[in-house]
Structure formats: C-alpha cells, structure tokens
C-alpha cells in the first residue's frame, strides 16, 4: 500500500527538519504559517506565490505545497507538474465565523484525496476545489465543529 501524507504545519516554525520534509507528500499552511517557514511577509496572493516558489526549492513535499488564503481560497504548488502554481479562488460568501475553517479545509482535502483512485493533477485539482468550497461553507455557520457539514449534506449541495 502507498500512504499519502498531508502535513498541516500549525503552528509553523522556521527550520523544519529536511528528513521530515522528505516524509511529507503534501504540506498545507496558512499565510502566517508560510511566513514562519520562509521568513518574509505573506499578506497577498503574490506574496504567497513567492513563498510557494521558495518552499518548492526545498527538498521534500513529493506532491507539493498548499498555502490557504482565507477569503482568497488557496494557492497550490504542484511538484508532479513541474512546480506549477495554481490559484483556487473561494466563492464570495457571507462569513459568520472563520474559526475552524483551516481544519475544515484540511479534513475535506484528506477526505477527497482518499477517495481518488488515481492521484493525478486532475484529481488533486478536484480535491482542492472541493476543500476550498467546504471551508467556505464552514464559515457561513457559527462555531468550529458545529459549522461542519455532514457528508450527506455535501452530496446534496454538490450533487456528488
């Protein structure tokens, strides 16, 4: 069996052990966590793009790196596609409570990746898009776990 590892580096710290990076397939960080890893400000999509380029220069992360950007969705730097960087925008929503949105994103991402039969760029894009959507939905409700949709609600909402 092949096990895919997703590391949500929260809280992040600067000198992440290179051996640990080699065991991580997909790194997921938010803007402030990305700042800790690259040691420069990550406040805009362009800053995040620059941070991704810097992180992709490091060894490890065989699938790639995701930087979540709150209301701006996320950026994905994909190793399997020659370090291409793609933006996955979030839809415009009425935010009520953002607590737990990052956890919602990572949980949904792991769920959708685990249901992929062939983890290629197309399947990754689908999993990331759905994770962005799920995290967006989670901020429309109050609370952390209380804001998370059940799988049957998602299937109905997304028709999947």
Residues in a beta bridge with 84: 78
> Which residues are designated catalytic?
103
Is residue 104's pLDDT more than 70? Answer: yes
- The answer to which of 7-16, 46-55, 87-96, 128-137 has the lowest mean pLDDT is 7-16
Lay out the sheet containing 74-78: strands in order across: 6-8, 26-30, 64-68, 74-78, 84-88
- Strand 26-30 to 64-68 pairing: parallel
Neighbours of 86 (CB within 10 A): 15
pLDDT tens for 105-135 read 999 999 999 988 888 899 999 999 999 998 8
The CA distance from 27 to 94, in Å, is 28
CB 132 within 8 A of CB 138: no
pLDDT tens for 52-67 read 999 999 989 999 999 9
What interhelical angle do 45-56 and 31-38 show, nearest 10?
Answer: 50
Tell me the pLDDT band of 159, cut-offs 50, 70 and 90: low
The CA distance from 53 to 62, in Å, is 14
Q: What is the mean pLDDT of the chain?
A: 88
pLDDT tens for 58-93 read 989 999 999 999 999 999 999 988 989 999 999 888
């Amino acid at each position: 069996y092949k096990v895919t590892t997703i590391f949500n580096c929260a809280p992040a710290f600067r000198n992440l052990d290179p051996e640990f990076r080699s065991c991580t397939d997909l790194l997921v960080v938010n803007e402030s966590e990305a700042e800790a890893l690259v040691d420069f400000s990550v406040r805009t999509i362009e800053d995040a793009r620059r941070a991704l380029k810097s992180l992709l220069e490091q060894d490890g992360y065989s699938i790639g790196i995701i930087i979540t950007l709150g209301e701006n969705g996320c950026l994905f730097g994909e190793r399997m596609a020659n370090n291409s960087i793609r933006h996955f925008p979030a839809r415009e929503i009425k935010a009520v409570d953002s607590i737990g949105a990052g956890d919602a994103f990572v949980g949904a991402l792991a769920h959708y990746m685990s249901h992929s039969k062939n983890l290629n760029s197309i399947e990754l894009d689908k999993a990331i898009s759905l994770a962005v959507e799920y995290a967006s939905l989670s901020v429309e409700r109050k609370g952390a776990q209380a804001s998370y949709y059940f799988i049957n609600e998602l299937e109905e909402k997304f028709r999947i």
